[in-house]
Amino acid sequence: MNNETVLILDFGSQYTQLIARRIRENKVYSEIVSCQITLEEIKKINPKGIVLSGGPASVYTKNAPICNKEILHMDIPILGICYGMQIGCQFLGSAVTPSEKREYGKTICKINDNTNLFQSLGNEITVWMSHGDQISDLPEQFISLASTANSPFAAIKHKSSNFYGLQFHPEVTHTPDGQKILYNFLYNICGCSGNWKTGSFIKESVEGIKKQAGNKRVICALSGGVDSSVAAAIINKAIGRNLSCIFVDTGLLRMDEARYIIKTFKDNFDIDFHFVDAKERFLQKLKGVLDPEEKRKIIGHEFIAIFTEEAKRIKDVEFLAQGTLYPDVIESIPAHGGPTASIKSHHNVGGLPEELGLELIEPLRFMFKDEVRELGHELGIPDEIIWQHPFPGPGLAIRIIGDITFERLEVLRNADKIVIDELKRSGLYRKISQAFAVLIPLGSVGVMGDERSYENVIAIRAVETTDFMTADWSEIPYEVLRTMSSRIINEVKGVNRVTYDVSSKPPSTIEWE
Ligand code: XMP
């Protein structure tokens, strides 16, 4: 789509995604592909540069992942990082052996050459290492650009080809000048101009969707979350009322959420909007169900059934739009197992496309979350939607421990609203990754007025995380917790105790169920 692309060949590093993000933050479009991409595919993409990622293997072992050696002779600048450096060096005649000492963590790197990669970076920088192998012998055709106490060849360049290597990881924040090193690679070595902008993405994406969908009908399950909202807004811009959005009120949404989503979309977009009030239906199905996994299964199944029924009512539908993001897509790329670099379609609405026989449109499949937020802003989606915390598909059902009833949902909705309102009022909402209330129908003893009460407990959960795989509980100031607690106990009928969840993930999860 974009004429300035940097390809990242993935050798299985846990940081590959980070490399892609850092390059895009430098305003250059980047894409991750399998390390087994063919020369023909590379030529077709015509990248300005190639990055070889790190990886967990050792280049000298039998089944180590490799790329086609000929990429080194394609006249495209290449930057190898860690494993990527080692494989490039091995191809170019250097020896890679296990290091005497594994190097892990921050270390000082002395720079011998302040041209190209290290331009304007001085004599010494802090870098982050994580490797057990190293270049043990650097043949004459290489230049050593930098060294650390344990790695004499911490950065190298091949004299006659356009190959550069870094033993350390410039993509992690523990290498404070990493972004500048990548900038130097992109701009000084690859000659990029920095034309990656979300604005131009919208324009190109709209053109692409117009071509793909023509005057056919597209349907979209709108959840009100940032991803499906932005996907719908882009498609709407491309094909107007040929996009039909289906919004299902499961009754498991937060306070006023359904009303807000309907109003936002009706007011801001000329969209064919289908609202399904399925509150009763979900409650019926969930009656007496206590097991969290069972709740999830029922909700997922019911959602698909309702969506399918509604979709069948809409005539001549040929496409299904999804708000799939790049991290989901990357997870489905075989790092070094797959024979091609082609990226599989990611079906995130369990089983829908097969059943309906629809083709997928995924306008955000090459975008990271922060980029999606930027797009949302440009498309006129309100901040309330763009910056909202993630909300799970099963909604409040997995935040009510035990039986789900309308009354319990109301208690939770009221308490949750107070938690969120107070975070917003204290300016903490955007700092926290996810916060919510959980209803624990314990029957806690309390005194209210002169009477003994025996009522529910609300737990407040607030976490900080970048990837939601690990998370730490957020240190909300006591005053804010105090206000939340006193408001919940005073204003929410049926609650006489509030607790704050101070568990990190792992071993706990973010949600309680
Ligand atoms: P956990 O509880 O696993 O949550 O630490 C991690 C992130 O995933 C969300 N989550 C879900 N999202 N369906 C979803 O769409 C689910 O069943 C589900 N369970 C957890 C959770 O809110 C958090 O952001």
CB of residue 323 inside a 6 A radius of ligand 1: no
CA dihedral sign of residues 64, 68, 70, 71: negative
* Amino acid, res. 218: V
> What is the DSSP code string of 111-142?
ES--SGGGTT--SEEEEEEEEEEEEEE--TTE
Helical (H) or strand (E) element with 303:
helix 292-313
Spatial neighbors of 366 by CB under 8 A, at least 6 apart, are 1, 31, 326, 329
Ligand 1 center to 47 CA (angstroms): 37
pLDDT at position 258 is 96
pLDDT at position 334 is 57
Using an 8 Å Cβ cutoff, are 169 and 154 in contact?
A: no
Rounded to whole angstroms, the Cα distance separating 336 from 88 reads 16
Ligand 1 center to 332 CA (angstroms): 19
Ligand 1 center to 188 CA (angstroms): 42
Helix ranges (H only) for 314-435 are 326-331, 352-356, 369-378, 383-386, 406-425
Ligand 1, atom 8, lies closest to the CA of: 392
128-149 burial code (b ≥16 CB/10 A, e <16)? bbbbebbbeebeeebbbbbbbe
pLDDT at position 454 is 87
Paired residues of 165 in beta bridges: 80, 156
Helix ranges (H only) for 160-252 are 178-183, 198-213, 226-239
| Helix/strand/coil for 15 | coil
Tell me the best of 511, 512, 513 to mutate to test the pocket of ligand 1, counting ligand atoms within 8 Å of each CB and taking the most. Answer: 511
Helical (H) or strand (E) element with 488:
helix 478-491
Ligand 1 center to 400 CA (angstroms): 14
Q: What's the distance, CA 493 to chain centroid?
A: 38
CB of residue 296 inside a 6 A radius of ligand 1: yes
Ligand 1 center to 197 CA (angstroms): 31
The catalytic residue among 4, 31, 67, 82 is 82
CB of residue 434 inside a 6 A radius of ligand 1: yes
pLDDT at position 243 is 97
- 217-221 and 243-249 strand pairing: parallel
| Helix/strand/coil for 360 | strand
Using an 8 Å Cβ cutoff, are 251 and 278 in contact?
A: yes
The catalytic residue among 131, 158, 169, 346 is 169
pLDDT at position 344 is 41
Ligand 1, atom 11, lies closest to the CA of: 392
Helix and strand counts by DSSP (H, E) for the chain: 15, 18
Phi, psi torsion values for 38, nearest 5 degrees:
-85, 165
> What is the DSSP code string of 21-87?
HHHHHTT-EEEEEETT--HHHHHHH--SEEEE---SS-TTSTT-----GGGGGSS--EEEETHHHHH
Q: Show the tokens assigned to 389.
A: 């915390």
CB of residue 392 inside a 6 A radius of ligand 1: yes
CB of residue 505 inside a 6 A radius of ligand 1: yes
Using an 8 Å Cβ cutoff, are 31 and 5 in contact?
A: yes
CB of residue 332 inside a 6 A radius of ligand 1: no
C-alpha distances in angstroms, 403 versus 223, 272, 283, 284?
Answer: 24, 36, 10, 12
Largest pairwise CA distance in the chain: 89
Provide the mean pLDDT of the chain: 92
pLDDT at position 347 is 45
Helical (H) or strand (E) element with 434:
strand 434-448
Ligand 1, atom 18, lies closest to the CA of: 392
Tell me the best of 399, 468, 501, 505 to mutate to test the pocket of ligand 1, counting ligand atoms within 8 Å of each CB and taking the most. Answer: 468
Helix ranges (H only) for 256-291 are 257-268, 279-286
Q: Indicate which atom in ligand 1 lies nearest the CA of residue 389.
A: 24
CB of residue 359 inside a 6 A radius of ligand 1: no
Catalytic annotation present for 171: yes
pLDDT at position 91 is 95
Rounded to whole angstroms, the Cα distance separating 328 from 333 reads 9
CB of residue 14 inside a 6 A radius of ligand 1: no
pLDDT at position 353 is 60
Tens-binned pLDDT, residue by residue, of the chain (513 aa): 557 999 999 999 988 989 998 999 999 999 999 999 999 999 999 999 999 999 999 999 998 999 999 999 999 999 999 999 999 999 999 989 998 878 888 999 999 999 999 999 999 999 999 888 989 889 999 999 999 998 999 999 999 999 999 999 999 988 999 999 999 999 999 999 999 888 888 998 999 999 999 999 999 999 999 999 999 999 999 999 999 999 999 999 999 999 999 999 999 999 999 999 999 999 999 999 999 999 999 999 999 999 999 999 999 999 999 999 988 887 666 555 443 333 444 445 455 667 778 999 999 998 989 899 999 999 999 999 999 999 999 999 999 999 999 999 999 999 999 999 999 999 999 999 999 999 999 888 888 788 888 899 999 999 999 878 889 999 999 999 999 999 999 999 999 999 999 999 889 999 999
Using an 8 Å Cβ cutoff, are 363 and 235 in contact?
A: yes
Ligand 1, atom 3, lies closest to the CA of: 509
Q: Indicate which atom in ligand 1 lies nearest the CA of residue 391.
A: 22
